[in-house]
Amino acid sequence: MSGGRFGADFLSTYEEGIKREWVIGNGLGGYASSTIIGAGTRTYHGLLVATPENSPGRLLLLSSLDEEISINEEIYKLAVHKYPDTISPTGFDYLSEFIRYPFPLWVYQLGDFTINKKVFMIHNSNTTCVLYDITSRREGALLRIFPLVSSRDFNLTARSGYLSFFQRAGPSGVSLASSTGFTFSVSSNLQYHPNPVWHYNLEYDTEKKRGLNFQEDNFNPGYFESKLEPGKSRFFIAASTGDISSFTLEQVDKFYTREANRQNLLALDSRLTEPFALKLLKATDAFVVKNRFSGENTVIAGYHWYSDWGRDAMISLPGLLLIPYRFDEAKSTLNNFARYLRRGLIPNTFPAFGGEPVYNTVDASLWFIHALDRYFAYTHDFLFLSDIWNTVEDIINNYCNGTDFGIGMDPDCLIRQGPQLTWMDAKVGEWAVT
């Protein structure tokens, strides 16, 4: 393993392959994520996890793409799934390399077939694209790709008895309307064939270890198919909550180039030169997103299940946004939390479904002042400091005079607080540990 490249030693068994995970974001809080062998081990793993309009939060829509290549009546399956007491298929048998940057890339070797599979998301769009480059000297081979889909809260599992889909199929893809009320599409430059099948009792090892529901069913509406000619073949699969019926390979290539250029520009603007620092920069980009209600920038506190948290956003703001010279996004993040100020407190977190923010934090507002100080040290933005100064005064006055949750200043000028207001907010029964 070197710089995000993983060879056969890390990929040749299920047990080794599931130890390492990857995640990429779309700038909206949506993401794609799995293990480096493509096996889902969490309910949160999927190729399209998004927040469609009017959804209560993040939904898992595209679980996986199960590819197979037929050569002389032999079928080679590239997917990896865990079922009760078995792992099938075992696509890691053909996986020779996984490369994380700039986008997740899998290299499969099947005799004289080489298959490169790249996954990326279109920035500021609930769209995942997968590009396939296949090289071979053989004739008569056939590629099939089976999308496994769901339509559920990404914290939960789904069963076929409680979830159904209506599909509207076309020659290049399918639009799926789920019984949960959401619609999404899967499209390709391959030929689509409807053939609805349920996959039952997929298992997620990590959820099993956590003592949570770890089995679910996925729906496969059909499959995409194409003959493989000798030489090089290129295909794409796209999944989105928007209209992608007109996508072409040329367009998807342009989306890929645009996203690669965006990340390269981040690297250039950052003035960073050390290779590891540049990889960290690209990795942290997934945490910088738009708040779906305010339209301002914010920071995801962690993947997979965290949303934007005030404390985490302010602590991480210098490293995520100031050192890389992302000053506009830093200003927007400060504005995002300042606009929700209440009695000297910035939000601890925002509910995924909207509504009132939650303010149960003693230190987020103090971290806000620290982050603003760091922003000014980098930018000398007197105009913004002047505009937001009322927020600083409001925080200080409320801390001095006392505000919600028992937060206030004692005569010795130290800050007091009620229970469960720091990052150490564990509670056992009715006993608040801190």
CATH T-level topology, domain 5-248: Beta-galactosidase; Chain A, domain 5 (2.70.98)
Say how many Å lie between the first and final Cα of the chain, rounded.
Answer: 41
Q: How confident is the model at residue 53 (pLDDT cuts 50, 70, 90)?
A: confident
What is the model's pTM?
0.94
| pLDDT tens-place string over residues 69-81 | 998 889 999 999 9
Residue 325's nearest CA partner among 387, 368, 267 is: 267
State residue 145's pLDDT score. Answer: 98
| pLDDT tens-place string over residues 38-52 | 999 999 999 999 988
State residue 429's pLDDT score. Answer: 74
State residue 30's pLDDT score. Answer: 95
Q: In the chain, which segments carry CATH 2.70.98? A: 5-248
Please check whether residue 239 is in contact with residue 62, taking contact to mean a CB–CB distance below 8 angstroms.
yes
Sequence letter at residue 90: T
Determine the longest span between alpha carbons in the chain, in angstroms: 84
* Bridging pattern class, strands 408-409 and 31-35: unpaired
State residue 411's pLDDT score. Answer: 94
Q: How confident is the model at residue 434 (pLDDT cuts 50, 70, 90)?
A: low
Statement: residue 1 has pLDDT above 60:
no
- Distance (Å, rounded) from C-alpha 323 to C-alpha 318? 6
Q: Taking the mean position of all CA atoms in its chain, how far away is CA 363?
A: 28
Statement: residue 253 has pLDDT above 90:
yes
Please check whether residue 149 is in contact with residue 167, taking contact to mean a CB–CB distance below 8 angstroms.
no
Statement: residue 223 has pLDDT above 90:
yes
* Bridging pattern class, strands 141-153 and 59-71: antiparallel
